[in-house]
Amino acid sequence: MNTDEKPLAEQRPALPVAARLPINRCNLPAVILGGPTYQAHPVPLEIDGINDFHRDLFTALDAIPTPMARAERFIDYMTVRFCLEDLEEAGLTPGRRKKYRSNANYLRMVRGWSFDSDGREGAVLKHWVETRFGLLARYHGGALDGRDSDAYYHYLLQGSQGLYATNALEAQLDLLYTFCQYELARQQPAITHFTLYRGINRIDEHEVLMSSAAGQYRVLFNNLNSFTSCRERADEFGDYILSVAVPTPKVLFYNRLLPGMLKGEDEYVVIGGVYDVVINTL
């Protein structure tokens, strides 16, 4: 960790090579969308082909005036499009695993993340971020600091098990992210960032790249993270409050996006990378 008198905004270390892939499936490379310049000056992120492929859905949503009605329309679309209530129609072989695999959908992934971000569903979501945005997972039940480590093997195994025999699960997540961005733009078109919080006990729980004498830190986050929009809620999880300005395009989903989506009242699930953050004591 380097300390410098210059403001962090004037320093531009790139997203470390070990934290990114050379290719992804969106309109910006990982080295840009995962860096501090993007945090300060975000532009919309689009996963390749999703808006065009599902144009009929978003045209229909444009005509619906209320968020709740749009959420219901989205859920109906997902159910029909991905045969979520008739998986045999989607090609699933009848048998003992039918009930279990019928639950392996985008809603199961979201709820599983809320219960345990280092579980099977968390591994699927982190793998999805890797393939779509090119940001590598940094932690999953342990530091993923080597491809020959037990933690990395466990991460790959859980991700593979979570994706096995599902019905286009990653495509479901593509559409979930795109719908989230549609709703944020529809409901709050002038908002470019959300100020979000996270309770921590020690700053060295995170990968600190730089710090300044003014108490600012440049942190490399895991490729997917939970934050809260309620500072008081963050107080419950640590002795220090980490606050960060998160670009709107880096919000994968949030608790009010769909009915009963998350148990946390103010939870936001955020795509990672390098962020400038401020840490305050309680």
Amino acid occupying residue 91: G
- Whether residue 45 is predicted with pLDDT greater than 90 in this model: the reply is yes
Q: Same domain for 168 and 277?
A: no
- Whether residue 4 is predicted with pLDDT greater than 60 in this model: the reply is no
Between the alpha carbon of residue 32 and those of residues 36, 49, 159, the distances in Å are 8, 20, 26
Q: Same domain for 160 and 265?
A: no
Q: Look at residues 140, 165, 187 and tell me which one is the last residue of a structural domain.
A: 187
% of the chain at pLDDT higher than 70: 87
The pTM of this model reads 0.91
Q: How confident is the model at residue 94 (pLDDT cuts 50, 70, 90)?
A: low
Amino acid occupying residue 66: T
- What confidence tens digit (pLDDT) does each residue in 108-147 have? 999 999 999 999 999 999 999 999 999 999 999 999 987 7
Q: Same domain for 196 and 183?
A: no
For residue 176, being part of any structural domain is answered with yes
Q: What is the DSSP string of 52-100?
A: HHTHHHHHHHHT--SHHHHHHHHHHHHHHHTTTT-TTTTTPPPSTTHHH
Q: Same domain for 170 and 84?
A: yes
Q: What pLDDT was estimated at residue 206? A: 87
DSSP state of 259: T
- What confidence tens digit (pLDDT) does each residue in 174-233 have? 999 999 999 999 999 999 999 999 999 888 888 999 988 777 899 999 999 999 999 988
Between the alpha carbon of residue 236 and those of residues 46, 229, 282, the distances in Å are 35, 13, 10
Total Cβ atoms within 10 A of residue 231: 16
For residue 35, being part of any structural domain is answered with no
- What confidence tens digit (pLDDT) does each residue in 6-18 have? 555 555 557 999 9
Ranges of H-type helices in 194-265: 231-234
What is the rounded distance in angstroms from the CA atom of residue 234 to the CA atom of residue 250? 20
Report the candidate in 175, 166, 169 with the shortest Cα–Cα distance to residue 91: 166
* Selected residue with higher pLDDT from 236 and 10: 236
Report the candidate in 148, 277, 166, 172 with the shortest Cα–Cα distance to residue 225: 277
Q: Same domain for 70 and 140?
A: yes
Q: How confident is the model at residue 166 (pLDDT cuts 50, 70, 90)?
A: confident
Q: What pLDDT was estimated at residue 3? A: 47
Q: Are strands 2-4 and 207-212 parallel, antiparallel or unpaired?
A: parallel
For residue 54, being part of any structural domain is answered with yes
Q: Look at residues 152, 187, 222 and tell me which one is the last residue of a structural domain.
A: 187
Q: How confident is the model at residue 80 (pLDDT cuts 50, 70, 90)?
A: very high
Q: What pLDDT was estimated at residue 282? A: 63
**Within 13 Å and on the Cβ side, how many CA atoms surround 200?**
18
Q: What pLDDT was estimated at residue 12? A: 58
What is the rounded distance in angstroms from the CA atom of residue 60 to the CA atom of residue 73? 9
Number of domains in the chain: 2
Q: Same domain for 164 and 276?
A: no
Q: Look at residues 164, 187, 210 and tell me which one is the last residue of a structural domain.
A: 187
For residue 180, being part of any structural domain is answered with yes
Which strand (E) or helix (H) includes residue 209?
A: strand 207-212
- Whether residue 1 is predicted with pLDDT greater than 70 in this model: the reply is no
Q: Same domain for 8 and 126?
A: no
Instruction: Average the pLDDT over each of 18-22, 53-57, 202-206, 273-277 and give the range with the smallest value.
Output: 202-206
Task: Answer yes or no: are the C-beta atoms of 231 and 194 closer than 8 Å.
Answer: no
For residue 164, being part of any structural domain is answered with yes
Structure tokens at 9: 């905004």
Task: Answer yes or no: are the C-beta atoms of 159 and 126 closer than 8 Å.
Answer: yes
Beta bridge partners of 3: 211
% of the chain at pLDDT higher than 90: 71
Domain that holds residue 137: 50-187
* Selected residue with higher pLDDT from 213 and 257: 257
Q: Same domain for 57 and 172?
A: yes
| DSSP reduced 3-state for 231 | helix
Q: What pLDDT was estimated at residue 260? A: 76
Q: Same domain for 86 and 172?
A: yes
For residue 220, being part of any structural domain is answered with yes
Total Cβ atoms within 10 A of residue 133: 28
For residue 45, being part of any structural domain is answered with no
What is the rounded distance in angstroms from the CA atom of residue 246 to the CA atom of residue 227? 10
Q: Same domain for 6 and 133?
A: no
Q: Same domain for 73 and 144?
A: yes
Q: How confident is the model at residue 173 (pLDDT cuts 50, 70, 90)?
A: very high
Q: What pLDDT was estimated at residue 11? A: 59
Q: Same domain for 178 and 217?
A: no
For residue 29, being part of any structural domain is answered with no
